[in-house]
Structure 1
Amino acid sequence: MSRVRSTDAVLLLVAAVWGSSYLAAKTATSALPVPLVLFARYGISAIACLALVTARRTSRRFTRDELRVGAVLGVTQAAVLVLETYGVAHTSAANAGLIISLTVVLTPLLDRTSGGTGLPPRYFAATGLCLLAVALLMSGSGFHRPGAGDLLMFAAALVRAAHVALVGRLTARRSVRPLHLTTVQTLVGAALFAVPVTGTLGRLGRVDGAGWAQLLYLALFCSVFAFLAQTWAVQRGSASRASLLLGTEPVWAVAVGIGLGGEHLTVLTALGAALMVAGTYWGQAVERDHRTAGTARAPDRSATVAATGV
């Protein structure tokens, strides 16, 4: 029982960290350009991951699969973070966390390994509920043209769903270690953003203590810690239970946005938030039951990669 409780506590902490990442990213981008924030985040994450790999007494070398798969996923992950970070810079942290949770119901539509012969109608009903929730979240205090930030977060959810499906496809039947794969992805991301920030690197020297705290939090907690802690917890428990606990991420995003960010929810956005949480949980349950009822397949990957914060 104590093992289950400790595992659940870690997963809830990961969900809370990812939920808080939207406010942290929004605060960081208010002081620095988005490419510079991403370069700093990737750079710090890469240094931390390399240190962890070096600290291992064995298996320090990267395999060909880890290098090849990590390079591809590093590019797609960078695309996700670009959309998410620009998106959260132009919308509320609460909205960002809720809209990006669309990934949970969009991923099985793109993942060949999860749907089998076809997802049941109930799944598409849950997806429709989530899309209605997005419309309400984008409406704010009344129905009007969606904001740029909301649209970017919607695009980020689509790209992240494709990224998650690609993770499952590329890592299937390949021996890749999470730490080594993450390290390659962070190195690729740092390299991709190195050129765009060449002329603005000097601004990092003028960042105050609070700014560096935001960058370190995004890199070390929202990226390195969250991913490794999530993997550890899933290995000790069930993927389905992990998926349920990690699904609380949008709830944490709203709580942090309102409690620490001073954001407010209107009646329409509050209704959208409730529908989004209900729709994602419903869709997640339908997809899991459908996959479980099918023939034996590879282990469930959704709980380990679907929810990743900003």
Structure 2
Amino acid sequence: MSSVAVPVLAPPRRAWLTDLPVLLVAVVWGSSYLAAKGITTTQTVIAVLVLRFAVVLPVLVIAGWPRLRALTAAQWRGAGLLGLVLSGIFLVETYGLVHTSATNAGLIISLTMIFTPLAEAAVTRNRPTGAFLAAAGLSVAGVVLLTQGGGFTSPSAGDLLMLVAALARTLHVLLMARIKSVRSADSLSLTTVQLGSAVTVFALLTAAPGTGESPWSVAAGFGAREWGGLLFLSRAGRAERARQRIALLADREREVAVAVGRGRSNAEIAAALYLSVATVKTQVSRILAKFDFNNRVQIALLVHDAGLLDDDGDRDPS
């Protein structure tokens, strides 16, 4: 009696779960711009930036002090360079936000999600698929239409600054993946040094004439609402950067990354996602290569920073 092998079909993939990191990026970006818009004026941009990061920096230093001490000189230099780029991003972005609406700021900065894979494709000389290019074109057209308001008008200075900030964020992501000295640095230490470098730049700028109010006078004038907004901005920054990087992964890579973050072995991931172990190994290798990581622990830290381990949707489908 002959037997017939019946293929086992994988359950339908829940696409909305794999798109969750992108949605979280949009939510964090949008809410952070509303908060920043409410507490920032042209004269307080640099002061607010000093306060925003000075609030969270001591906490990061205390939490990651042993790992900070373990950084090599090359890692400090690499992370410091990234911090200089980050300071430029926040300066351009915050001045842009002051001169445009929070809605326009959120829409324009979202173009980073388009610019980054296009830049990555250009650097690696891998031509994007036609479907991606079509989706990118529609996204750009949508941003243009949504930022026009009552009709087609010339972009404001704030809109143009936000566009520069989106391009600068793209550069920052590419540099993070390509500066060899920071590849083995853990996420917390890398974030701490970057923010320390950025705060140093902001603090030096406050001493320059014509840069607006001092951080002390701005802090003295803050009420409960302003301090609440500042604390929200301080907490949102790290998660935002992690989610931005996670959003660069393909759907299957994202699923595997979350599973790695939960501490699963390759065999467990294969069983949960109905893949072969060899396929899982390939996906993990791609994730490591995409972020220039050295081990699975770095993937887990990134997923943790993005806040994806609190979602129960990616647990075993059984």
Q: Give TM-score scaled by structure 2 length.
A: 0.65
Which structure exhibits the higher relative contact order, with contacts defined as CA atoms closer than 8 Å and separated by 6 or more residues?
Answer: 1
Cα deviation digits, residues 10-35 of structure 1 (max 9, x gap): 95666533431010111121496111
Aligned residues, how many? 248
Taking the aligned partners of 1:104 and 1:300, their CA distance within structure 2 comes to 15
Distance change >3 Å, CA 196–CA 172, structure 1 → 2: closer
Aligned to 2:11: none
Contact 2:173 2:245 in 1 (8 A): no
Moved more, 296-305 or 131-140: 296-305
1:210-289 matched pairs, under 5 angstroms? 210-219=225-234, 221-224=235-238, 226=240, 239-241=253-255
Offset at residue 240 of structure 1 (A): 2.6
Aligned to 1:39: 50
Offset at residue 80 of structure 1 (A): 1.1
Aligned to 2:198: 189
Taking the aligned partners of 1:201 and 1:124, their CA distance within structure 2 comes to 44
Aligned to 1:17: 28
Offset at residue 74 of structure 1 (A): 0.2
Amino acid at match of 2:58: I
Which of 165, 172, 177 pairs up with 1:168?
A: 177
Cα deviation digits, residues 207-257 of structure 1 (max 9, x gap): 2222111111111x212455579999x9xx9653599xxxxxxxxxxxxxx
**Structure 2 unaligned regions, length at least 5:** 1-13, 208-212, 258-281, 293-298, 307-318
Aligned to 1:136: 145
Which of 100, 117, 120 pairs up with 1:108?
A: 117
Distance change >3 Å, CA 157–CA 242, structure 1 → 2: farther
> Which SS does the other structure have where 2:51 is aligned?
helix
Moved more, 170-179 or 81-90: 170-179
Aligned to 1:83: 92
Distance change >3 Å, CA 123–CA 87, structure 1 → 2: same
Taking the aligned partners of 2:167 and 2:68, their CA distance within structure 1 comes to 35
Taking the aligned partners of 1:40 and 1:91, their CA distance within structure 2 comes to 22
Q: Give TM-score scaled by structure 1 length.
A: 0.66
Contact 1:65 1:174 in 2 (8 A): no
Offset at residue 100 of structure 1 (A): 0.9
**Structure 1 unaligned regions, length at least 5:** 244-291
Amino acid at match of 2:97: V
Aligned to 1:29: 40
Per residue, is there more helix in 1 or in 2?
A: 1
Distance change >3 Å, CA 242–CA 15, structure 1 → 2: farther
Cα deviation digits, residues 58-113 of structure 1 (max 9, x gap): 77532334312211110111111112111222222222112111111111222269
Aligned to 2:10: none
Taking the aligned partners of 1:193 and 1:17, their CA distance within structure 2 comes to 23
Distance change >3 Å, CA 296–CA 88, structure 1 → 2: closer
> What is the alpha-carbon root mean square deviation over aligned residues?
4.1
Taking the aligned partners of 1:26 and 1:59, their CA distance within structure 2 comes to 33
- Bigger-Rg structure (1/2): 2
